[in-house]
Amino acid sequence: MKRTILTIGIFVVGLLVPAILLDGFAQSGPALVAKVSFSFNVCREQLPAGKYTIQHAISSSSHRLVVRSDDGRSVDIACTVDIQGRKAVAEGRLIFNRYSDQYFLAEVWWPGDQIGHEVLKSERETALIRGLSGGPKKPEKVIIKIAKPDEPN
């Protein structure tokens, strides 16, 4: 009985700690809101199709983005590096790497910015690239355009 209670307690703590940590990352600046019509991967998580809000996370590093579903059930933090564009983009956009039927968030651009955010490749995406045989190793790019921050596309 004590063992069952302990196991349940550990399970509940395992569920609550990530949620508490994610809420600890305050968000700042304008949010991008996008409807994504396919499930996709961000870091270690696979997120279902749906409406998502992406914001900068205020933390010790400015290279983190919070990706949160409209219903609040799916949340992840993406680690990024800055990438320089040739010119400022007129429309915001999310860019995904597509390998067959698997999508990985690859880049995030805010409207009016010349610097975007490249999402670091996860172990899962890296393993998938290594496992491709005979086919091209470059993914298909899938772009979701966003006209204005805080408005659905």
| Strand partners for 47 | 40
Q: pTM, whole model, 2 decimals?
A: 0.75
Question: Are the C-beta atoms of residues 140 and 21 closer than 8 Å to each other?
Answer: no
Rounded average pLDDT over 101-107 = 95
Domain boundaries, the chain: 26-146
Angstrom distance (rounded) from CA 72 to CA 102: 23
pLDDT score, position 12: 44
3-state SS string for 81-127: EEEECCCCCCCEEEEEEEECCEEEEEEEECCCCCEEEEECCCHHHHH
Q: Tell whether the model's pLDDT for residue 47 goes beyond 90.
A: yes
Q: Tell whether the model's pLDDT for residue 28 goes beyond 90.
A: no
Nearest CA to 114 out of 80, 91, 84 is that of 84
pLDDT score, position 133: 65
The string of pLDDT tens digits covering residues 66-80 is 999 999 888 899 999
Percentage of the chain exceeding pLDDT 90: 51
pLDDT score, position 17: 43
- Token pair for 109: 């651009």
pLDDT score, position 66: 93
**Window from 25-34, 103-112, 123-132 with minimum mean pLDDT:** 25-34
Which DSSP string corresponds to 47-94?
A: E-SEEEEEEEEESS-S-EEEEEETTSS-EEEEEEEEEE-SS--SSEEE
End-to-end CA distance of the chain: 52
Rounded average pLDDT over 95-104 = 94
How many residues make up the chain in this entry? 153
